């Protein structure tokens, strides 16, 4: 017992070192549960309000470009007006547009990006809107140019989420021409490119083909732009293409985004669960 105590005292620093490293590694491996926690990520009040302050200073330098983007988006939306219905309801300081699609109902809320990165292996986004503005986990993030990411954690007035530049998330994507779908995942290398997987080799492809969201997840509506095919090849002995997609969004320059809420998500989930659970009875 005495010698055990003496051992512990003598190697106190080494044991503390081991303990702290193990704690760190546990945090690295359990990123999912911490990512959803309220305090240990950039959606917490302290870090988010720091980011909010600095970004509200730096945004002035980008106003010209942002204005141009908004004008382009307005022109695009105006051209779409003929087809669908568009109603404006102002709540807080964001404009809510209800966009009627044949199968489901989506609400768009405007938000500003207050922290973002493109040079890490796992990139995250922090937004200046949170629970108070109707934003919840598992809502999609969309820039004027295309899909950006998904919200994973929300506090009272801030939200943070996974960017498309994060290999821990993949998005269900399809080819606009042929309708074949696969999953799109960033490979951690070039911030302008991602890999589209699971497209069978009998499909005809061409570089420049448009890749859009499939609408098979409850996060994004169908047909939102993701990018265009940059290059593709058929690996020996495999049934699927290797496709490199040039992302539509330049993650180093996005500033304003829309957060998409699927109002009928609960209904959809309930129905899908019913089918899965009921399948055994037949």
Give the residues lining the site for another protein (CB under 8 A).
12-14, 16-17, 20-21, 23-29, 31, 34-35, 39-42, 44, 47, 50-51, 54, 117-122, 124, 160, 188-191, 252
Q: Shortest approach of another protein to residue 200 CB, angstroms?
A: 26
Q: Shortest approach of another protein to residue 91 CB, angstroms?
A: 28
Q: Shortest approach of another protein to residue 57 CB, angstroms?
A: 10
Q: Is 260 within 8 Å of 106 (Cβ atoms)? A: yes
Q: Shortest approach of another protein to residue 228 CB, angstroms?
A: 20
Smaller CB separation from another protein, 44 or 172: 44
Q: Shortest approach of another protein to residue 171 CB, angstroms?
A: 19
The 8 Å CB, 24+ separation contacts for 84-92 are 91/134, 92/132, 92/133
Q: How many CB atoms lie within 10 A of CB 58?
A: 10
Q: Is 230 within 8 Å of 246 (Cβ atoms)? A: yes
DSSP at 206? -
Identify which of 224, 231, 217 has the alpha carbon closest to the alpha carbon of residue 262: 217
Smaller CB separation from another protein, 25 or 268: 25
Smaller CB separation from another protein, 19 or 270: 19
* Tokens standing for residue 246: 């040039």
For 102-130, b/e burial (b = at least 16 CB within 10 A) is eebebbbbebbbbbbbeeeebbbbbbbbb
Smaller CB separation from another protein, 8 or 263: 8
Smaller CB separation from another protein, 42 or 94: 42
Smaller CB separation from another protein, 116 or 214: 116
Q: Shortest approach of another protein to residue 168 CB, angstroms?
A: 11
Q: Is 155 within 8 Å of 44 (Cβ atoms)? A: yes
DSSP at 59? G
* Burial class (CB within 10 angstroms; exposed 0-12, middle 13-18, buried 19+) of 9: exposed
């Amino acid at each position: 017992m005495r010698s055990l105590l003496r051992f512990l005292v003598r190697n106190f620093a080494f044991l503390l070192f081991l303990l702290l490293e193990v704690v760190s590694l546990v945090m690295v491996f359990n990123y999912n549960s911490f990512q959803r926690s309220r305090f240990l990520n950039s959606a917490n009040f302290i870090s988010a309000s720091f980011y909010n302050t600095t970004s509200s200073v730096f945004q002035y330098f980008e106003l010209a470009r942002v204005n141009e983007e908004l004008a382009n988006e307005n022109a695009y939306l105006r051209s779409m007006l003929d087809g669908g219905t568009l109603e404006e309801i102002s709540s807080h300081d964001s404009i809510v547009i209800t966009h009627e699609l044949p199968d489901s109902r989506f609400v768009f809320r405007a938000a500003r990006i207050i922290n973002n990165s493109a040079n890490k292996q796992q990139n995250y986004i922090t937004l200046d809107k949170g629970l108070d503005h109707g934003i919840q986990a598992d809502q999609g993030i969309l820039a004027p140019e295309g899909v950006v990411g998904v919200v994973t954690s929300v506090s009272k007035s801030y939200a943070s989420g996974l960017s498309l530049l994060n290999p821990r998330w993949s998005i269900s994507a399809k080819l606009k021409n042929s309708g074949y779908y696969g999953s799109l995942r960033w490979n951690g290398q070039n911030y302008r490119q991602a890999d589209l997987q699971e497209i069978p080799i009998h499909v005809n492809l061409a570089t420049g083909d448009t890749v859009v969201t499939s609408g098979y997840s409850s996060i994004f509506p169908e047909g939102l732009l993701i990018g265009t095919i940059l290059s593709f090849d058929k690996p020996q002995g495999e049934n699927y293409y290797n496709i490199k997609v040039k992302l539509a969004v330049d993650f180093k320059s996005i500033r304003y985004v829309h957060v998409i809420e699927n109002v009928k998500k609960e209904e959809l989930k309930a129905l899908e669960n019913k089918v899965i659970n009921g399948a055994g009875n037949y």
